[in-house]
Structure 1
Amino acid sequence: MNNWHFEIDQENIAWLHVDMQNSGANILSREMLEELDQQLLSISQHNPAGVVILSDKKSGFIAGADVRAFAGMNDIHEAEQLIHQAHEIFERLENLTFPSVALIHGFCLGGGLELALACSYRVASDDADVRIGFPETRLGIFPGFAGTVRSTALIGHLNALQLMLSNRNLNGRQAKKIGLVDEVAPTRQFKSAARYLIHNRPGHHRPPLLQRLAGVSLIRSGVTAWLKRQVSKKVSLGHYPAPYALLDHWNTSAGNPQQMALSEQQEVARLLTGETAQNLIRVFLLQNRLKAQKGDPGFKPAHVHVVGGGLMGGDIAAWCSLKGFSVTLQDQSPEMLSRAIGHAHQLFSKRLRDRRKVRDAMDRLIPDHLARGVPQADVVIEAIYEDTEAKQALYQQLEPRMKSDAVLATNTSSIRLERLAEKLQNPSRLVGLHFFNPVARMPLLEVVAMESTDAAVIERALTFSKRISKFPLLVKSSPGFLVNRVLLPYLMEAMQLHREGVPAAVIDKAAVEFGMPMGPIELADTVGLDICKSVAEKLGDTLDIEVPEELISMVDSGKLGRKSGEGFYRYEKGKALKKGGSQPVDGALAERLIGRLLNETVA
């Protein structure tokens, strides 16, 4: 066997190891499933006291099904056959005549969790990197290897639905609290815990009464309607059918395991071969390509120095601190630094939800108006206003004080790096790290390189990008790079529609109904109208764009969007006050907006 092997110890316990060849993580391909089936048959012939399934990968247990096998799958019968095969293999695992234990460290996601649920017992590591969950709805499907059947039976209907709908990952202790795992232990005690479970066979978790009552047929329809209302606040049925299909599947089949298993196979196969799932799978694979870009494995940055305490600089500094870096934040204004630190505390409190962790993150973020952090920094990020001369002058101050191998990065959104590097002693060390607003929510990071940028610097920038959990997109130094090159004409088209008399809320509604997460007018307000104006002025000649008079007027009067409290919309507590959005939307609006965007991608 290439990916699985087992041995039987002196206590007659079979230890089944999974270690997928030529892969950094275990994933459940058809070959992996078929090998597992053969191994279970071989182990059964030895009649052991029990079997323990464990991963030899440092990355974790099993990261899920092989998504690559789903790409381009448009034959529903082929999809049903693959899903049915997994059902049969996991059922054989569940029905072994001896107990089975899954030892979980690192990733245990999707199909990996479904495999673990087919075992008699589950032991999770107490390490902080444990991630247990069902991410399937992100791919336009829901758990299809009997995950809906076993999870609802084990942890209760509401807990299981919340886990599947939210895409939330649990650590070991969180999983034990709801009964998803039986024990939490340090990895050094894994084998002892497994032996105890096999020899003593303790009783299984029983969901609380409320969790069981939610599955009663008379109650299910009400729960389904309520959950659909909650889902509709985040995603629409037309764009993301999977959460709604999951709820319908549960509503019609929960309480009958056989019917639920059959319904699961049919519904997941239908979703998997649909347009939405195939598009989301394509996006997922493209994201993996970005994450797979090679960096510099020897570059281990620990200290980041950010210059610029404004909205972007402050958020970049906070994000780096959240990700474990020591960060010094430089700005001439104590008020700007104070405001940035306050925003950082809000981010930490929301993301970490633990006073000790929030305190540690705050301790890592140091206001530094005297720039004392520059000589210690492994990465220096400039995030000041968009002015070529100001940036050049800053680099002349920074460069002599930086470590020779430190990365010098600019967060410019529109200025070509060749211009910015003109005054540097070593221009090849400059690279662009173009973050997007809001930094904490936008996963993409443009890594911008000139022809003269040192290849080693690019590799370090890619490594750093992945260390802060961003998707690095390597682009050339050209006007607008990639995202702004495509985005700016789209925003300008929306502003032109507004000048023609279409209400801002209607323009945004047209884009959102098409499938955009946010309308272009609100997006411009969020980015900052001053930033939009600056980028439009710099790219106007290249893209044949005229800066709208309305945009110039608003910026001149201090209406900069969300950050100033007013732009195209007025904002209260950070929320846009929209008027006129209730009127019907002409389909031609979306065609005009999206058509402009598509034309730019072709250009």
Structure 2
Amino acid sequence: MVAGLDGLRFSHWKAESREDGVLVLAFDRAGESVNTFAQDVLIELDALLERLALEPPKGLVIRSAKAKGFIAGADIREFAEFDAKGTIGDSIRRGQQVFQRLADLPCPTVAAIHGFCMGGGTELALACDYRVASSDASTRIGLPEVKLGIYPGWGGSVRLPRLVGAPAAFDMMLTGRALSAKAARGIGLVDKIAEPALLIDTAATLALRGLQRPFKQRALGWLTNTWPARQLLAPQMVKQVSRKARKEHYPAPYTLIETWRRTGGGLQNRLAAERKSVVRLAGTATARNLTRVFFLQERLKGLGGGHAHAIEAVHVVGAGVMGGDIAAWAAYKGFQVTLQDREQPYIDQALARAQSLFQKKVKDDDKRPEVAARLKSDLAGDGVARADLVIEAIVEDAQAKRGLYAQAEPRLKPGALLATNTSSIPLAELAQGLQRPAQFAGLHYFNPVALMPLVEIVRHDGVAEETLARLAAFCKAIDKLPVPVAGSPGFLVNRLLFPYLLEAATAYAEGIPAPVIDKAAVRFGMPMGPIELIDTVGLDVAAGVGRELAPFLGLAIPPALATPPEPGKRGKKDGQGFYAWEDGKPKKPEVPKDYVAPDDLEDRLVLPLVNEAVAALHEGVVADADLLDAGVVFGTGFAPFRGGPIQYLRETGIDTVRARLQALQARHGDRFAPRPGWDDPALRG
């Protein structure tokens, strides 16, 4: 038994004394594969620290006993429970008190960080005197609480600005961005970097010898937190945040800045202000919905677990923007990929785009050639016979796709899978004539592939469950979120998105300026307006999806999307669509200052999407409302702070929204008539 800890038994912490007198405290949460802070973990740590304060060692090093990283932060499941019970304030207070006890220990303390260190893990490290980080590429240090609608509440928002200076601290906290060990060392968050095998020895040496931080870092921490500096910097931070998020949608970053700006005095005063504002934020609808979205994301991640994909080689047919980027992403994620098209120039263009992706994603210059070598040109299509997965990404035409399958399927290995990236064609239509329909499914990516996290796994009546499970596991391997959907027209995301885009084009045809339409959608919470989105996707793609979905949905197509666009006017990729584009950004025309937007414009845009969500849930396009919300949030960027279209319905009031639809129907026509499913019990949950 370690001196000072006699008689205490720990479930989550293991103490070991070194010969040099340093105590190493290993965090090993019982029954979990990843370290997170639950209340029993904090209570146990509190008792341990209380005893160490009475009989301190020469130094204390805190490390993780888990192979999977340092500490992932607070247990979000428990956090949600406390919010529901109204006891979140007790949780925040306990975390602050325990970490303050760590900060007050009468011996040097060091956090030895290997792997991910997030949220409460970073706050614990900040309560230590020093921090040593592993040089391993997996080491990432961050404070992502803003993504849950709150901000660091266990002392992190108080300690970090004074450690690294306000600008660097707020860059971390306002974005939720995680830093590599090298970047953390650069701003002064980490004191030393060590090889993984030497991490604990380095930390112990630091505890015994100490370290004087550079004068510039110490001065920055003091100067940028004085009252005049806070008054000067805070408005600049608010201006930067306002470019990304509206205050009424995401109050956390604004509250964080304002709490820091107005709060001075001693540590306890600043901790009290932090606690009060974080507790208030935790009770907002935004925080509840962003927490819900977090759990939805975890559910989608789980769909890809528990099964082997048995895929090593991938062959992609179609080197256009989608096919080429699908191939590049798979190669980046470690798969051997061959890329085929009817002419070599198309493949060459895709390979050039892939090089840009690798340049951006692979920071190590020495490793980049190895990644690039995994993606090979294959004009003849020889890779079909060697592939474990063949992905078709050619033109959106059922006859052309079936013709390709007739050529490729006989060449497939016995266990190989065939997948289509079709965005809207029913799978039953594409599966006609296949010899092995059980090994055929949809694998629908979204543009841009490198940024959009969702992939729809599209089923049909003849597909094997084994095929769907392997594709879900493949999605996990390439860091995408799989959502299983029925193979009906448009599947889930495009089926819901199309009425939204169609109404935007209809409003535009009526003379409502495009920037006004986009502004209304952004005001609701969409990441970009629908007119800009049509230009980004491409008017040619939108017109193609329209031809497929309009008859199914019973909708008329306005002129702008009724026919393929003129050459050179397909949108962003041509530099001209609804907007003119320069350097990847739309040039939106000025709207007359006296122009007044129709008061029902926001409802006209959003409610068709919500209406179709009701119908899709009713028809069983997805298994339940949570999967529908997850698919729409991660597939379209639908206002995450609203939790998804079904959650938006439930919070706003199902009868209230239906009445608003009926008002639109009376004013604008039957395209707004409530779709089947509004009385379905599944809608109310």
Query: Could you say which TM-score interval applies, normalised by the shorter chain?
Result: over 0.9
- Residues 311-460 of structure 1: matches in 2 within 5 Å? 311-353=321-363, 355-460=365-470
TM-score of the superposition, structure 1-length normalised?
0.94
Match of 2:78? 69
After superposition, the C-alpha distances for 1:98-118 in whole angstroms (9 at most, x for unaligned) are 222222111100111101111
Alpha-carbon distance in structure 2 between the residues aligned to 1:217 and 1:184 = 33
Determine the structure 2 residue equivalent to 1:572. 582
Distance 1:26 1:278 in 2: 23
Give the structure 2 partner of residue 591 of structure 1: 603
Cα distance in 2 for residues equivalent to 1:73 and 1:521: 42
Alignment partner of 2:509 out of 492, 499, 502: 499
2:92 is aligned to 83
8 Å CA contact 1:295–1:461 kept in 2: the answer is: no
Unpaired segments ≥5 residues, structure 2:
1-9, 616-685
**Aligned residue in 2 for 1:273:** 283
Note the C-alpha offset of 1:406: 2.9
RMSD: 2.3
The alpha-carbon distance between structure 1 residues 245 and 357, as it changes in their structure 2 partners (threshold 3 A), is farther
Moved more, 210-219 or 163-172: 210-219
Sort the Cα spacing of 1:205 and 1:396 in 2 relative to 1 into closer, same or farther, 3 A: farther
CA distance in 2, matches of 1:575, 1:357: 32
**Taking structure 1 as reference, are residues 448 and 205 closer, same or farther at Cα in structure 2, changes over 3 Å only?**
farther
Structure 1 portions without partners, runs of 5+:
none
Measured in 2, the distance between the counterparts of 1:184 and 1:170 equals 13
Secondary structure of the residue aligned to 1:122 is strand
Query: What code does the residue aligned with 2:423 have?
Result: S
Work out the CA distance in 2 between the residues paired with 1:385 and 1:361: 28
CA deviations over 1:270-304 (Å, ceiling 9, x no partner): 11111211111111111111111244543353432
CA contact 1:76–1:269 (8 Å) conserved in 2:
no
Q: Which moved more, 1:57-66 or 1:96-105?
A: 96-105
| CA drift at 1:216 | 2.5
Aligned to 2:677: none
> What residue number does 1:306 align with?
316
Residues 15 and 53, structure 1, Cα contact 8 Å, conserved in 2? yes
Matched residues in 1 for 2:20 and 2:244: separation? 52
How far the C-alpha of 1:416 sits from its partner, in A, is: 1.8
Q: Could you say if the C-alpha distance between residues 88 and 210 of structure 1 is closer, same or farther in structure 2, counting changes exceeding 3 Å?
A: closer
For 2:565 and 2:427, locate their aligned partners in 1 and report how far apart those are by CA, in whole Å. Answer: 26
The reply to whether residue 161 of structure 1 matches residue 170 of structure 2 is yes
Whole-angstrom distance in 1 between the partners of 2:220 and 2:200: 35
Q: Distance in 2 between matches of 1:307 and 1:554?
A: 23
Q: Following the alignment from structure 2 to structure 1, what is the Cα–Cα distance between the partners of residues 320 and 555?
A: 28
State whether residues 76 and 273 of structure 1, in contact with CA within 8 Å, keep that contact through their aligned partners in structure 2. no
Instruction: Give the Cα–Cα distance (whole angstroms) in 2 for the partners of residues 208 and 101 of structure 1.
Output: 18
Compared with structure 1, are the counterparts of its residues 585 and 280 closer, same or farther at alpha carbon in structure 2 (3 Å cutoff)?
farther
The alignment status of 1:600 with 2:612, answered yes or no, reads yes
TM-score, normalised via structure 2 length? 0.83
Q: Tell me if the contact between 1:154 and 1:205 (Cα under 8 Å) persists in the aligned partners.
A: no
Q: State the alpha-carbon separation in 2 of the partners of residues 140 and 485 from structure 1.
A: 29
Which 10-residue stretch deviates more, 320-329 or 118-127? Answer: 320-329
Letter in 2 for 1:95: D
The CA distance in 1 between the partners of 2:541 and 2:68, in whole Å, is 41
CA distance in 1, matches of 2:422, 2:411: 22
**How far is the alpha carbon of 1:419 from its aligned partner?**
2.0
Counterpart check, 1:246 vs 2:256 = yes
SS in 1 for 2:229: helix
Contact persistence 2:309–2:471 (CA under 8 A) = no
Q: Confirm or deny: 8 A CA contact 2:337 2:374 kept in the other structure.
A: yes
CA deviation string 1:290-326 (max 9, x = no partner):
1112445433534322211111112212222332333
1:473 and 2:456 correspond: no
Question: Are 1:126 and 2:138 counterparts?
Answer: no
Q: What is the rounded CA distance, in whole Å, between the counterparts of 1:451 and 1:42 in structure 2?
A: 64
Match of 1:3 among 12, 35, 52: 12
Aligned pairs, number: 603
Equivalent positions of 1:166-315 (< 5 A) are 166-204=175-213, 207=217, 209-210=219-220, 212-253=222-263, 256-295=266-305, 297-299=307-309, 301-315=311-325
Alpha carbons 1:509, 1:585 under 8 Å: kept: no
Work out the CA distance in 1 between the residues paired with 2:133 and 2:320. Answer: 42
Give the aligned partner of residue 111 of structure 1: 120
3-state SS of paired residue (1:113): helix
1:49 shift after superposition: 2.5
Partners of 1:38 and 1:431 lie apart in 2 by: 55
Question: In the superposition, relative to structure 1, how do residues 399 and 255 fare at CA in structure 2: closer, same or farther (>3 Å)?
Answer: farther
Q: Does 1:545 align with 2:560?
A: no
Q: 1:50 aligns with which of 30, 43, 59?
A: 59
Cα–Cα, structure 1 residues 209 and 54, in superposed 2: closer, same or farther, change >3 Å?
A: closer
Which amino acid is the alignment partner of residue 428 of structure 2?
A: E
Please tell me whether the aligned partners of residues 381 and 408 of structure 1 are also in contact (alpha carbons under 8 angstroms).
Answer: yes
In structure 1, give the amino acid aligned to 2:178.
N
Whole-Å separation in 1 of the counterparts to 2:299 and 2:142: 23
* CA spacing shift, 1:255–1:337, aligned 2, 3 Å: farther
Q: Which amino acid aligns with 2:204?
A: R
Q: Aligned with 1:546: secondary structure? A: coil
CA distance in 2, matches of 1:298, 1:506: 49
Q: Between 352-361 and 34-43, report the one with greater CA deviation.
A: 352-361
Structure-2 change in CA distance of 1:423 and 1:34 (3 Å): same
TM-superposed CA distance for 1:351, in Å, is 3.6
| Partner AA of 1:484 in structure 2 | N
Shift of 1:46: 5.2
1:519 equivalenced with 2:529 (yes/no): yes
Distance 1:357 1:250, change over 3 A: farther
Question: Cα 1:557–1:175, aligned 2, differ >3 Å: closer, same or farther?
Answer: closer
Change (3 A) 1:153 1:573: closer
The 10-residue stretch of structure 1 (213-222 or 410-419) with the greater mean CA deviation from structure 2 = 213-222
Amino acid at match of 2:485: V
Contact 2:61 2:111 in 1 (8 A): yes
In 2, the alpha carbon distance for the partners of 1:587 and 1:356 equals 57
CA distance in 1, matches of 2:452, 2:334: 18
**Quick one: distance in 1 between partners of 2:438 and 2:471?**
13
Contact conserved, 2:50 with 2:101, CA < 8 A, in 1? no
